Structure 1
Amino acid sequence: MTTDASEVQEPSIAEQEWQGLISQTPAPVREIVAGVIDQHAVDCVQRFYEVLLNNADAAPFLSNEIVDTRLRAALGRWLAELFSHDAPDASILVQTQQKIGAAHARIQIPIHVVMHGARLLKRKLRVFIQALGLDGPQYSAAIAYAEDMIDIAIEVMSLAFVQGTRKEVEVNEAFRLMSLGKDISLERETQRAALLEWGQSFLLDICYGGDSANTLSDSAFGLWLRHKGSVLFQGASEIDVVSKAVEHVDNVLVPKLVSERPAPPQAIKALQGALEEIHYMMDQLFKTAEAVENGRDPLTKTLSRRFLPTILGREVSLSLRRHIPFSILMVDIDHFKSVNDKLGHVVGDSVLRYVAKILVAQCRMSDFIFRYGGEEFLVLLTETQEEQAIQIAERIRTAIEQNTALTVNEIDIRVTASFGIATFAGHPDYRHLIEDADRALYLAKAAGRNRWHVSKGRHVHSDGLAE
């Protein structure tokens, strides 16, 4: 089989430069540096983390125990691959650095932190090479080779980082604009009602001697504002005013009303005034909203997978900053292929819409529901611990199994679904969380379907009894 010359991809500039550096560096010099890595890689990694853990910008990405363990091992492998005894393959090195740079973009680790880390490694390698007592030419060649190899690696990483970040920004903006176009009148009325409901419930508790501990930020409106409203209206000055007004209600007005009985009329009036201000500012935000892009799955009306990195990345960042949990459910419709094969794709589409409708009904307004694949959905449950996620998964599973409302061509279609559950454990790359949920889903399906499985390896039947 021959290959058309036009299909052969030309090596990148970085790959050509890297190949040139490797081929022009004498084998004994490469062997010297490889030997230094063999002997001192652990010391290099240790120094790298000692310094960066004291860096305020780097510490949030490195301090988690899971990340710490994985990244230490990964950095050691990276050094060994970069400075292997055999001449490394430049094309493989480029691919590796591109993957690392893309991961840095997903994690949103600042690029200057990576540059700082590279500088630390080069300094440490200089010390170890100096200790070998090489003659002048050999010493210079070894130092130049070590530093140039790291510099090219960082250049390739940085390019991939910039490309990934640019794509992320574009998707973020597209999601924001799409969200603004999502049945904006319904969204406005829903949040208006949620705000009004909290105000009435709180004041009734106060006036009739109740002990309300429910803050506005913990209400349905508060959850929506924190996880969706702040994204939908990102950059609008009104959203900052709303957020500060909510903080004022929770930190000043609510404590005053709870602690003083009977509640002072002026305090009640102040609370009503604050809620009216929030209501007014939200109206202004919704009035300026414009639908400019459709980012929903046309069949199920759930979010497009395109926006998954944006939302998951933001929830990871929010969780790391505020130490609040979140979980994801991977939902797979059981035996969906046989439905398509036996009853046709029209019936299959009806099943997909049916499951999506149940997901929407069983989840909160602050949660996110994505069409992940052909018959798969991914549900992001904001501010949800593992035990809560299990309860929600079981509730959805039961609703899908027991609901008999799906009838197509006078045929009752019985539908079940399997679930993989994963709770955020601190790794800043959201792909690890998706992989955990995927593995859990695989185990649920392997165990007989119509059940859920938690990513920690704990298997539970659909009736909730652990094996």
Structure 2
Amino acid sequence: MPATTFKTGIGLKKYHLRNLYSKQNNQVLAGISQIIDGCTESAVERFYNELTSFEKSKKFLSEQMVQDRLKNELKSWIEDVLSPKSETDIPTLIDKQYLIGEVHARIDIPMDLVDSAMFLIKHTVFLSILDSQLDKEMKNRAIILVDAILSASLAIIDQSYLKDLVENERIAQEYKGHVSAQEIALEIEGIKSQTYKWLSNLMAVLASNKEYKFRSINKDDVVLWIIHKLPQYVNKPSFLEPINDTVNQIEQIHIEISQNTENRSEAILLLQKKISELNFLLTEIANANLHESNQLDALSSLTERRFLDPIMQKETQIALQMQSRYSVIMADIDNFKLINDQFGHQVGDDVIKHVSKILKTNIRVSDYIFRYGGEEFLILLPETDLKTSIHIAEKLRQKLEQSIIETHQADKSLTVTCSLGVAEFANHPDYMQVIKRADEKLYQSKNNGKNQVSY
């Protein structure tokens, strides 16, 4: 007697879904195809009405996104899983369920909300089947089959989602320790210096009796850094609340100073005090991170690609919540293979280090830069629109083109160029969409002659 094979976890779910598309079940699906076509739109409408009624869904869904894209995607999914499948169709169908789970994990959509709203899809389809002209036996078979297929598909999505969610959380926690204490301390010292510079500029303008044009501190690089990068460094969320409160107090005092042209001295003293409090809190964070170890990319000293997912996920959530923009620049060193072949890999390493330094020193402290591949880099620009990002990309291209690379070989100095692609976040909760568009624009630059910016 052959040994019994036990299937567990996602393997069992795949096995179950595969068996649901038998010859007899495919006949049932073919028999209800018109019913499915007729009720899908109503089912999708009920699903998203339910999903968007939850407060916590607002961080990853917008009304425009639902109307423009997600309704059509869900409609296609229902029609796909509830249509007959041949044996050769099933692997592709299963892969699609995996992919949906991965996307849900990247978006960080709570699966309990999806599971809850899925009941309404089933309910709508069941009612349509019951109201049809099918005989009683066919109705029963159809309802049981639809329930089984939707449940099995959702089970694979849930399993894939949980697997990716756990991995994303592990990487996010690891990222909190990826920057050394020295790196954090230097960055914080730079931010503290900028706060005093901002205060000095404000006082100089006020002392000159010139008309003061108010510009919110929330647009300053200091606050952008606090919003977008500081949470990635902090192991204790309790550190963030007093910092955010202090920034809000600084902004309120700043507004008062801009509106009150007389008796500003007391408000300025209070502003100085709050700036000092903010810098004290930032120093505490630097001290608290002294035990952290350094896990930057060894060659480029840039953030490793493996930390990209939690950071992109967080920035996408911030952009959706604040209705703001971010942009992505993809950059690739031109003719890098030729450099390696002609001068050797040590010179190639010198080129990577040089390009990394040029890119890193010409972006804001609130921006992120990753070594994305061998000679490819990804730059994430929070709260930056496409027009500004194109300007930044062009500046980086020119800086690199004009620089001289000193190599380990005493008689060898080089110049290199870079091709760049730029894309702006377009309100899609899956951040891979904007990365893909930036990558496509990068290859457009490559194909059009290199050493240029495409957008």
TM-score, normalized by length of structure 1? 0.89
Distance 2:329 2:24 in 1: 51
Further displaced range: 133-142 or 116-125? 133-142
What is aligned with 1:457? none
Q: Within 5 Å, which residues of 2 pair with 1:18-417?
A: 18-23=17-22, 26-58=25-57, 61-63=60-62, 65=64, 68-87=67-86, 90-179=90-179, 181=181, 183-210=183-210, 211=212, 213-233=214-234, 235-251=236-252, 253-407=253-407, 408-417=409-418
TM-superposed deviation, 1:279: 1.6
| 5+ long unaligned stretches in structure 1 | 1-8, 455-467
Amino acid at match of 1:320: L
Question: 1:15·1:90 contact (CA, 8 Å) conserved in 2?
Answer: no
Instruction: Tell me the secondary structure at the aligned position of residue 440 of structure 1.
Output: helix
TM-superposed deviation, 1:159: 1.3
Q: Percent sequence identity over matched residues?
A: 29
Amino acid at match of 1:435: K
What is aligned with 2:447? 446
Instruction: Tell me the secondary structure at the aligned position of residue 177 of structure 1.
Output: coil
Amino acid at match of 2:101: G
Alignment length (residue pairs): 445
| 5+ long unaligned stretches in structure 2 | 1-7
Change in Cα spacing, 1:177 to 1:242, as seen in structure 2 (3 Å) is same
Distance 1:238 1:27 in 2: 58
TM-superposed deviation, 1:178: 1.4
Change in Cα spacing, 1:97 to 1:181, as seen in structure 2 (3 Å) is farther
Instruction: Tell me the secondary structure at the aligned position of residue 96 of structure 2.
Output: helix
TM-superposed deviation, 1:12: 0.9
What is aligned with 1:428? 429
Distance 1:182 1:355 in 2: 22
Amino acid at match of 1:318: I
Question: 2:182·2:290 contact (CA, 8 Å) conserved in 1?
Answer: no
Amino acid at match of 1:71: L
Further displaced range: 87-96 or 201-210? 87-96
Q: For residues 318-352 of structure 1, what are the alpha-carbon distances to aligned partners after superposition, in whole Å with 9 as ceiling and x for unaligned?
A: 11111121111100111111111111111111111
Change in Cα spacing, 1:87 to 1:119, as seen in structure 2 (3 Å) is farther
Amino acid at match of 1:192: K
TM-superposed deviation, 1:249: 1.1
Distance 1:393 1:103 in 2: 28
Amino acid at match of 1:220: D
Question: 1:332·1:377 contact (CA, 8 Å) conserved in 2?
Answer: yes
Distance 2:328 2:371 in 1: 13
Further displaced range: 324-333 or 28-37? 28-37
Instruction: Tell me the secondary structure at the aligned position of residue 295 of structure 2.
Output: coil
Q: For residues 1-50 of structure 1, what are the alpha-carbon distances to aligned partners after superposition, in whole Å with 9 as ceiling and x for unaligned?
A: xxxxxxxx998111222234443964443333334224433443344345
Amino acid at match of 2:260: E
TM-superposed deviation, 1:269: 1.9
Distance 1:101 1:406 in 2: 47
What is aligned with 1:3? none
Question: 1:217·1:223 contact (CA, 8 Å) conserved in 2?
Answer: yes
Q: For residues 129-165 of structure 1, what are the alpha-carbon distances to aligned partners after superposition, in whole Å with 9 as ceiling and x for unaligned?
A: 0122333332222111111111111111111111111
Change in Cα spacing, 1:369 to 1:114, as seen in structure 2 (3 Å) is same
TM-superposed deviation, 1:179: 3.0
What is aligned with 2:3? none
Distance 2:91 2:232 in 1: 39
TM-superposed deviation, 1:378: 0.5
Instruction: Tell me the secondary structure at the aligned position of residue 369 of structure 1.
Output: strand
Amino acid at match of 2:337: K
TM-superposed deviation, 1:234: 5.1
Question: 1:334·1:416 contact (CA, 8 Å) conserved in 2?
Answer: yes
Q: For residues 245-287 of structure 1, what are the alpha-carbon distances to aligned partners after superposition, in whole Å with 9 as ceiling and x for unaligned?
A: 1101102x11222222344332222112211211211111111
Instruction: Tell me the secondary structure at the aligned position of residue 205 of structure 1.
Output: helix
TM-score, normalized by length of structure 2? 0.91
Question: 1:205·1:212 contact (CA, 8 Å) conserved in 2?
Answer: no
Q: Which has the higher relative contact order, 1 or 2, with Cα contacts under 8 A spaced 6 or more apart?
A: 2
Distance 2:240 2:9 in 1: 49
Question: 1:67·1:427 contact (CA, 8 Å) conserved in 2?
Answer: no
Distance 1:67 1:356 in 2: 39
Change in Cα spacing, 1:10 to 1:241, as seen in structure 2 (3 Å) is closer
Amino acid at match of 1:334: D
RMSD: 2.4
Instruction: Tell me the secondary structure at the aligned position of residue 364 of structure 2.
Output: coil
Question: 1:332·1:417 contact (CA, 8 Å) conserved in 2?
Answer: yes
